[in-house]
Chain A
Amino acid sequence: MELGELLWYSNNKEKFDIRKIIRILFLISPIILLGFAIYENNLWHPPLNPNVPQYISINDLRSHPEAYPPPMKVIMQGLVINKNKTSNFLILEGGTMGPFRVNCSNLDISFINTGVIIYLLGVSYFNDPSKNYFLAENFEIQQPTYTTYLSIPGALLILIILFVGFKFSLKDFSFSRKTKEGVQDA
């Protein structure tokens, strides 16, 4: 280490350490997001505004049917495991709480096959023991999505941008500009 560099470090030791600490804090910041995700994953809260359709999971609806009384609109996603053509009922996978019955009497479900994932918009009657079903008003079959596969060339382009457009240092796992020309412009 040169004397000048050593002097710089000794004069700016505090500043240097703070930068390192801040960098570590920035690096671990996604833990906050992960914490929120874990918290949210185990959380259920009652709807605040019954006029807005509630997008919830099948489990939440089955666990708290009283919170979603008719005519509140509910949206959910589920896997079709059975179909009754005569009664126009769909049976969705309901997890530990048993099959999830969907009344599709107002809909044409002839082209819904078992094994597909559908989005349902309708009204829940699970708080009414005489009915105990979900009355569907609209549905949308989830199509195969290729976004993950189409994102692979995108991810490769990002890596090219990072490793060609910037200088990578393995020493501290950092990127820096190859030229300061543009920075001075800014």
Chain B
Amino acid sequence: MPDWLTHMGIAYVVIWGISKIPELNSKLRAYFWLFIIGMVAPDIERFFTVVAQVIDNAYFTALTFTFITVTHSILGVAIISLFITSFFPHEQQRDTKFIYLTLFIGGLGHLMIDLIMWPWPGMGLNLFYPLAGSEFSYSFHLVWPWNFTPLFITSIILLGTVLIDAISRNFSVFRWQF
């Protein structure tokens, strides 16, 4: 699956685009950074992957792969978004809902990006887990997980946004003007 940098880069490009639309920028600015967090949230299992590599236990490694399947589903995104929302207990009730919604939409964006992986039919993400199995795997079948093309394309687009901001002297996401 693409690394966190790729997911964050794409999330940045999305919020950069939103920041250029004044009406949306004023309404959604408060959730920009949460969207980036949501965009990497389903990969929270990577901590388990690292632990599995360190302890080198076959059962734990197999469990990690299954955990990846579960977290990379709509149900998984919904639950992980709840988990992250629990770290923001002091917000207003309405705002808490928006925080959850932002994290959830970010998580769905993550799944959309991960759908480019696995070129063979029968492989992909079990978006509708617990409906498990190859019959419920979805993918655009474009690249293998170790392919650097997504990171490369994201880097170029990201560089483009930075150049546009530098030429217009307005880094709208950060509100830097010079």
What per-residue 1/0 map shows which CB atoms of A106-123 lie under 8 Å from chain B? 000000000000010100
> Of A27, A45, A143, which is within 8 A of B146 by CB?
A143
Q: Give the total number of A-B pairs whose CB atoms are below 8 A apart.
A: 164
Residues 57-102 of B at the A interface (beta carbon under 8 Å): 59, 62-63, 66-67, 69-71, 76, 79-80, 82-83, 85-92, 95, 98
One digit per residue, 1 when the CB lies within 8 angstroms of any chain B CB and 0 when it does not, for chain A 174-186 equals 1111000111011
Instruction: Sample 6 A-B pairs with CB under 8 A, ordered by A number.
Output: A30-B79, A37-B66, A54-B122, A55-B122, A121-B120, A154-B40
Is A150 in contact with B120, judged by CB distance below 8 angstroms? no
A86 at the interface (CB under 8 A from B): no
Q: Mark A36-80, 1 if CB is under 8 A from B, else 0.
A: 111011000101110011111000000000000000010100000
Does A34 belong to the interface (CB within 8 Å)?
A: yes
Q: Is the interface of B mostly helix, strand, loop or mixed?
A: helix
CB distance from A144 to the nearest CB of B (A): 7
Contact present for A154 and B7 (CB under 8 Å) = yes
Interface residues of B in 4-27 (CB under 8 A from A): 4-8, 26-27
Q: Which residues of A contact B37 (CB under 8 A)?
A: 158, 161-162
Partner of A161, one of B36, B43, B67, B87: B36
User: Is B70's CB under 8 angstroms from A75's CB?
Assistant: no
A11 CB contacts on chain B under 8 angstroms: none
CB of B2 closer than 8 Å to a CB of A: yes
Given contacts A23-B86, A174-B89, A181-B30, 14 further A-B contacts (CB under 8 A): A26-B83, A37-B67, A37-B69, A41-B63, A53-B134, A73-B122, A75-B122, A145-B145, A145-B146, A148-B53, A150-B4, A154-B5, A158-B8, A185-B29
